[in-house]
Structures are given as C-alpha cells and as structure tokens.
C-alpha cells in the first residue's frame, strides 16, 4: 500500500499519526542557503514525532562548490544541526561507480557521497542477520534515464540496504522529499508500505503510474 501527498512537507507530516513510521529515507537537494538548511532541519525534526521509538532516519546528501571553488560542506553543516536531535549511528560511503570526464583537473575526482543514519536511541531495530553491516561502503552507479522515462538516477541499491536492515515486511516507510518516488518503489518491492510527500502537483499522475507497477495493495495518490 502507498499514499503520496502533494504539498508542504511541514504541514503534511503534522497529519501523520505519531509513532507509525519505521523508516524515513530521503535524498533532497543539497541545502545551499541557511534557509534551505533550516527547512530541511525542521522537516526531519517533524519526522521525529511520527518515527517509532526504534525507527531510523537515513539522509543522503551531496555537496556543491562555491564561486571560489571551495566545497561548501553542506552535509557537515546538516550533521551539526541534526546532532542536537538524533543519534548519528552510521556514516555510509556511496561510491559512485559511473564514469564521467571531470573538467576541473586541479582537484581529486568526486566519486563518493554519504548516507547518514540517525536514530532516537541506540536501541533501534537492526537486522544484523543479513550481514550488510560488515561494510560501510556501497558501490552503485547513477542510473541512466531513458527519454521521457519518469524516474531519477538515484540508485535503488542505497534505499534497498536501508529498507532491509531497519524495517520488516508491513512496516511504513516515509520519504518527505519523494521526487520520482524511488524510495517508494524499493519499499513496495520489499512488501513495505510507503508514504511520500512531494511538493510538485504536476508529477502526481506519473508517480501513480510508477508505483502502481510495484504496489501489492493499490491505493490512490
């Protein structure tokens, strides 16, 4: 089952029942401005209310360079803020295996990003029987998107690891920045329920078509 809301994540999360979400997985655009960082921070703090006591939040963030060619440190800035609200349980390295020509030759190649794991307490649910905790390195390439195909390049492998280790079949997964709903696809494939929030109204039909292919109990968007 899935349900995708369109609108402001801050307002919509307030309508979700408390303590019902086992996993929050999201990969928003890197928050470049202070206003963007505060907005992301407020959304994730809102998620704390709907998260179960043994639930988990996974946040994947990239970074940007400023006009002077210096990395902005956006993931680190968010970590400093979120540490006041959550435990930082893991930092996974996403090794991006796709090949591209790096134009700026006076620095090292950017071939990794990070996936951060947050919990309310150290007593969160974690399925260690899968053996996936034996490495913090995930090898996955950005997917190629066909013309007119409604999906992002974000690899399902990153979501899959989070879903399998921190949820059970029938649990609820939330993505407050759903985009093309890759999180939802992976959740449904693994027989988890999905709640998504997307600010864009014009993608509503495309989201439904994509998720209906994998839903085990179809529901209207």
pLDDT given at position 219: 47
Q: Are 144 and 100 in contact (CB under 8 A)?
A: no
| Per-residue pLDDT tens digits of the chain, which is 221 residues long | 999 999 999 999 999 999 999 999 999 999 999 999 999 999 999 999 999 999 999 999 999 999 999 999 999 999 999 999 999 999 999 999 987 777 888 989 889 999 999 999 999 999 999 999 999 999 999 988 888 889 898 999 999 999 999 999 999 999 999 999 999 999 999 999 999 999 999 999 999 999 999 987 654 44
- CA 148 to CA 48: how far, in whole Å? 36
Task: Give the pLDDT confidence score for residue 220 in this predicted structure.
Answer: 43
Contact 216, 24 (CB under 8 A): no
DSSP lists the bridge partners of residue 3 as: 195
Domain ranges within the chain, ordered by starting residue: 2-212
pLDDT given at position 64: 92
Helix, strand, coil percentages for the chain (3-state, nearest 5)? 30, 25, 45
Q: Which fold has domain 2-212?
A: Rossmann fold (3.40.50)
Give the max Cα distance, the chain: 52
Q: Pick from 62, 64, 215: which is nearest to 153 by CA?
A: 62
pLDDT of residue 100: 75
Which pLDDT score, from 0 to 100, does residue 217 have? 65
pTM of the model: 0.94
């Amino acid at each position: 089952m899935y349900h995708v809301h369109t609108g402001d994540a801050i307002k919509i999360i307030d309508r979700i029942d408390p303590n019902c979400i086992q996993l929050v997985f999201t990969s928003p655009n890197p928050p470049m401005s202070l206003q963007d960082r505060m907005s992301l921070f407020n959304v994730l703090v809102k998620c704390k209310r709907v998260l179960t006591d043994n639930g988990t939040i996974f946040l994947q963030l990239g970074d940007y360079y400023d006009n002077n060619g210096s990395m902005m440190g956006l993931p680190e800035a968010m970590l400093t803020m979120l540490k006041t609200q959550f435990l930082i349980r893991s930092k996974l390295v996403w090794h991006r295996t796709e090949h591209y020509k790096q134009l700026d030759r006076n620095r090292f190649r950017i071939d990794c990003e990070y996936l951060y794991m947050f919990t309310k307490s150290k007593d969160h649910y974690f399925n260690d029987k899968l053996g996936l905790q034996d490495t913090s390195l995930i090898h996955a390439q950005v997917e190629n998107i066909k013309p007119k195909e409604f999906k992002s390049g974000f690899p399902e492998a990153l979501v899959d690891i989070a879903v399998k280790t921190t949820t059970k079949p029938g649990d609820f997964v939330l993505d407050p920045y759903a985009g093309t709903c890759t999180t939802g696809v992976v959740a449904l494939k693994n027989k988890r329920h999905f709640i998504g929030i997307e600010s864009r109204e014009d993608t509503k039909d495309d989201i439904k078509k994509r998720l209906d292919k994998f839903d085990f109990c179809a529901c209207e968007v």
